[in-house]
């Protein structure tokens, strides 16, 4: 099976799933307001998780850079950060 055929099958499966989900919502089995509210909360949680993860990743990167005395291209930035931490102590 070629990659094009595999991609076509995957697109067909996704289209079929979308049709099933639409029929499920239209059947009235799911409260539309509750589903929208759940999606809203899910989006807020995902955004907060991405923000928190990015903050932790940048903090770890800056912590790792603090071990080096000279770093090419970012030496000025690291020096500024180290001076800022020395003045707060």
Q: Are the CB atoms for 33 and 49 separated by under 8 Å?
A: no
In this predicted model, what pLDDT tens digit does every residue of 7-17 receive, in sequence order? 778 888 999 99
pTM > 0.85: yes or no: no
pLDDT recorded at residue 65: 77
Residue 35's Cβ-count burial label (10 Å; 0-12, 13-18, 19+) is exposed
Whether 48 shows a pLDDT value over 70: the answer reads yes
Per-residue pLDDT band for 54 (boundaries 50, 70, 90) equals: very high
Whether 89 shows a pLDDT value over 60: the answer reads no
């Amino acid at each position: 099976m070629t990659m094009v055929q595999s991609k076509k099958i995957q697109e067909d499966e996704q289209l079929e799933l979308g049709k099933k989900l639409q029929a499920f919502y239209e059947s009235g089995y799911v409260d539309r307001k509750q589903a929208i509210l759940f999606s809203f909360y899910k989006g807020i949680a995902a955004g907060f998780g991405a923000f928190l993860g990015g903050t932790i990743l940048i903090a770890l990167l800056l912590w790792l850079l603090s071990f080096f005395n000279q770093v090419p291209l970012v030496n000025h930035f690291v020096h500024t950060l180290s001076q800022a931490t020395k003045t707060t102590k």
